C-alpha cells in the first residue's frame, strides 16, 4: 500500500507501510505529578503494541496533559500517539503545542474534535472548539508540508508528523460516515483509529462503503476494540460515554456470567472480536482501549495471536 512517497515519519508508520497488522493501545493519563506513574502505565503496553495513545483529557475529565505525557514517553524511547482535541485550546495554543511536541520527538498525532465539556467532571468549563477535527488535520498537514503556520508565517524547521483521525461508523448519519472519512483523508489523515467496534454487521457494511470509495488504500484503518470489565461497566459505557454503541448480545452475555468471571468473559469477547475484525478487508490494525484495565492488553494481544510485534528497520540497525 502506498500512502505517499515521502519516507515514513514514525515507527508506527513504517510498520503499517510494511504491511504488518498494527496494534496500538490507549494509555489513560494518571492524575499525578509523578512521572513514574506515567512510566508504570506505559511499561505494560510498550512491548505489546506499536504505538501508545496519550489521551487528551479523556471524556473531558482533567488529567495530566497529553503533550507532557508524550514528552515523558519519548524520553524513555516509547512511541506515543499524541492525541489533540479542539475542546480546550484555540488555534494559537494547538499549533504551538504541536510544534513543541514535535521538538520533543513526537511523530504520531491523532486529531480529534473531542468530547464536549458536559461529558466530564467540570461541565461548567468554557468550550473552545476554535477548530474542528478536519480543520485541525489540515492545519497540521500545512505545518508539516508547507512549513508554515495557518497564518502563513514560516516555520524554520517543520515537524515530521504521521497524521491520524478518528472515525465512528456506529452513529447516524450512517450513510454519511464513509464520506466523513473521505473528508478527513482529504484534509490529511494517514491513519484512522475507530470508535469501539462491537456492532460488527454495521462495521462490515461501513467497510464495504469505505472500500468502494477506495479509502482503505489511502489511509491505514485501525479498528477500535476493548475489553468490557463487567455488565455494569458495559451498561455505563453505552449510556454515558458519547458515541459508544454496544449491542444487547454482549451485555446480555456478561449479565449471564457470574460477577467474578465477567472480566474474563469481557476479555474473551474482545479477543473474539479481534479475530473477526482481522477477516475484514481493508483493516490495517487494531486500537485497544482498555480503560482502567491496561494490565489486560498484553494478554489480549498475546491470545489474539498478535505477538511478537514487528520491529522497525531503525531498531534493527540499532541492535546490529
Partner 1 sequence: MFRWLQNFPHFLEVVYNLFEVGLSPLKRWFNPGGKAEPLVIAAEKLGKGAVFNCKMCGQCILHSTGMTCPMTCPKHLRNGPCGGVRQNGKCEVKPDMNCVWVEAYERSLKMPKYGRQFASLQPPMNNQLEGSSSWINMFHGIDIKLPQGWSSTRDIPVKFVKEDHYGNK
Residues engaged in binding partner 1 (CB under 8 A): 91, 113, 115-116, 118-119, 127, 129-135, 138-139, 142, 146, 148-153, 166-168, 170-173, 175-176, 178-180, 182-183, 186-187, 195, 209, 212-213, 242-243, 245
In the complex, the smallest distance separating the C-beta of residue 214 from partner 1, rounded to whole angstroms, is 9
In the complex, the smallest distance separating the C-beta of residue 156 from partner 1, rounded to whole angstroms, is 15
CB 269 within 8 Å of CB 257: no
β-strand pairing of 51-54 with 283-288: unpaired
CB closer to partner 1 out of 108 and 133 = 133
CB closer to partner 1 out of 64 and 222 = 222
292: left (phi over 0), alpha (psi -120 to 50) or beta: left
Rounded Cα distance, 81 and 202, in Å: 27
CB closer to partner 1 out of 53 and 262 = 53
In the complex, the smallest distance separating the C-beta of residue 218 from partner 1, rounded to whole angstroms, is 11
Rounded Cα distance, 115 and 121, in Å: 12
In the complex, the smallest distance separating the C-beta of residue 39 from partner 1, rounded to whole angstroms, is 30
In the complex, the smallest distance separating the C-beta of residue 209 from partner 1, rounded to whole angstroms, is 5
CB closer to partner 1 out of 127 and 309 = 127
**Could you give the C-alpha distances from 279 to 129, 178, 192, 204, 276, in angstroms and in order?**
37, 20, 18, 10, 5
CB closer to partner 1 out of 37 and 132 = 132
Beta-bridge mates of residue 194: 167
Assess whether the previous peptide bond of 308 is cis (omega < 30° from 0).
Answer: yes
CB closer to partner 1 out of 245 and 298 = 245
Q: Which contiguous run of DSSP H or E holds residue 225?
A: strand 220-225
All three cell numbers of 170, joined, read 456506529
In the complex, the smallest distance separating the C-beta of residue 212 from partner 1, rounded to whole angstroms, is 6
Amino acid at each position: 500500500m502506498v500512502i505517499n512517497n515521502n519516507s515514513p515519519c514514525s515507527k508506527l508508520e513504517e510498520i503499517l507501510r510494511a504491511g504488518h497488522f498494527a496494534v496500538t493501545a490507549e494509555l489513560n493519563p494518571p492524575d499525578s505529578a509523578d512521572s513514574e506513574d506515567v512510566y508504570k502505565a506505559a511499561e505494560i503496553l510498550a512491548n505489546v503494541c506499536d504505538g501508545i495513545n496519550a489521551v487528551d483529557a479523556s471524556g473531558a475529565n482533567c488529567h495530566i496533559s497529553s503533550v507532557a505525557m508524550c514528552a515523558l514517553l519519548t524520553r524513555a524511547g516509547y512511541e506515543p500517539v499524541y492525541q489533540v482535541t479542539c475542546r480546550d485550546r484555540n488555534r494559537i495554543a494547538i499549533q504551538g503545542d504541536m510544534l513543541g511536541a514535535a521538538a520533543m520527538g513526537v511523530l504520531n498525532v491523532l486529531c480529534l474534535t473531542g468530547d464536549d465539556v458536559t461529558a466530564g467532571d467540570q461541565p461548567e468549563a468554557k468550550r473552545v472548539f476554535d477548530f474542528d477535527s478536519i480543520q485541525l488535520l489540515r492545519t497540521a498537514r500545512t505545518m508539516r508540508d508547507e512549513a508554515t503556520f495557518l497564518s502563513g508565517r514560516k516555520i524554520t524547521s517543520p515537524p515530521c508528523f504521521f497524521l491520524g483521525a478518528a472515525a465512528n461508523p456506529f452513529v447516524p448519519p450512517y450513510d454519511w460516515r464513509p464520506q466523513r472519512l473521505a473528508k478527513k483523508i482529504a484534509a490529511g489523515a494517514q491513519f484512522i483509529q475507530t470508535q469501539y467496534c462491537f456492532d460488527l454487521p454495521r462495521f462490515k457494511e461501513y467497510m464495504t462503503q469505505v472500500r468502494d470509495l477506495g479509502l482503505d488504500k489511502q489511509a491505514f484503518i485501525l479498528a477500535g476494540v476493548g475489553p468490557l470489565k463487567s455488565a455494569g461497566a458495559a451498561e455505563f459505557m453505552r449510556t454515558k460515554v458519547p458515541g459508544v454503541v454496544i449491542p444487547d448480545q454482549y451485555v446480555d452475555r456478561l449479565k449471564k456470567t457470574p460477577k467474578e468471571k465477567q472480566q474474563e468473559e469481557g476479555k474473551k469477547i474482545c479477543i473474539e472480536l479481534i479475530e473477526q475484525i482481522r477477516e475484514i478487508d481493508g483493516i490495517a490494525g487494531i486500537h485497544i482501549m482498555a480503560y482502567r484495565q491496561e494490565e489486560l492488553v498484553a494478554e489480549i494481544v498475546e491470545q489474539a495471536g498478535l505477538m511478537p510485534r514487528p520491529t522497525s528497520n531503525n531498531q534493527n540497525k540499532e541492535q546490529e
